[in-house]
């Protein structure tokens, strides 16, 4: 195993059909008064073991790995609300935080530039840019995102993370405080 270094970037991956958010981390130490960064890993019902690893993003070297078995996990201190009888798919981060993103994204054009040609057509790009102000631009962008798959929504998330990292970090911190779940 390797060492983890403050300021370095790492990727988190694992076996099976897990949702890992975010998949890329920058290791940093924040003051003890601030919430520390973390990754959330959703596995649903763990029937058998799952394998997790962290790799150095630049070198691809595995710096940490583990095998989690069902008995290794315990419920978090905040109880999880039982799932409804009709399971609803979990919302993507951008859908979960739509209201805050509409209200707080201060510069939409750089986000659009990153999505142009990959996620947004020329016509969609121009329609969003034609809106009078940033909240209306974000509303128009979200009107297109309703039909996007998870990969396209992840591209929007990445564009927001690159252009508004402070906002994404703040939303992660707030979201992390209200979530219950399983922790190792």
Domain ranges of the chain: 9-72, 93-174
Tell me the C-alpha distance between 104 and 101, whole Å.
Answer: 5
Bridge partners (DSSP) of residue 20 are 41
The DSSP code for 110 is H
Segment holding 159, helix H or strand E: helix 150-163
Q: Would you state the structure tokens that stand for residue 164, as one six-digit string?
A: 């508004």
Residue 11 has pLDDT above 90, yes or no: no
Do residues 102 and 74 touch, judged by C-beta distance below 8 A? Answer: no
CATH 3.40.50.300 fits 93-174, yes or no: no
SS3 42: strand
Model pLDDT for residues 144-158, shown as the tens digit of each residue: 999 999 999 999 999
Model pLDDT for residues 30-82, shown as the tens digit of each residue: 555 555 555 556 555 666 677 778 888 888 888 877 776 766 655 544 444 44
Tell me the C-alpha distance between 178 and 174, whole Å.
Answer: 7
């Amino acid at each position: 195993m390797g060492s983890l270094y403050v300021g370095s970037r790492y990727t988190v991956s694992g076996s099976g059909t897990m949702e890992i958010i975010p998949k890329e981390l920058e290791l940093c130490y924040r003051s003890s008064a601030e919430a520390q960064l973390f990754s959330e890993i959703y596995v649903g019902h763990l029937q058998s073991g799952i394998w997790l690893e962290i790799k150095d993003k630049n070198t691809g070297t595995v710096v940490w790995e583990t095998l989690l078995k069902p008995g290794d996990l315990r419920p978090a201190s905040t109880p999880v609300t039982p799932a409804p009888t009709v399971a609803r798919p979990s919302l993507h981060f951008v859908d979960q935080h739509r209201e805050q993103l509409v209200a707080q994204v201060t510069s939409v054009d750089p986000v659009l530039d990153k999505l142009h040609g990959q996620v947004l057509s020329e016509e969609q790009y121009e329609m969003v840019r034609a809106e009078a102000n940033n909240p209306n631009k974000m509303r128009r962008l979200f009107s297109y995102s309703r039909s996007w798959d998870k990969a396209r929504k992840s591209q929007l998330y990445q564009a927001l993370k690159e252009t508004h990292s402070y906002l994404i970090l703040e939303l992660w911190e707030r979201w992390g405080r209200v979530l219950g779940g399983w922790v190792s």
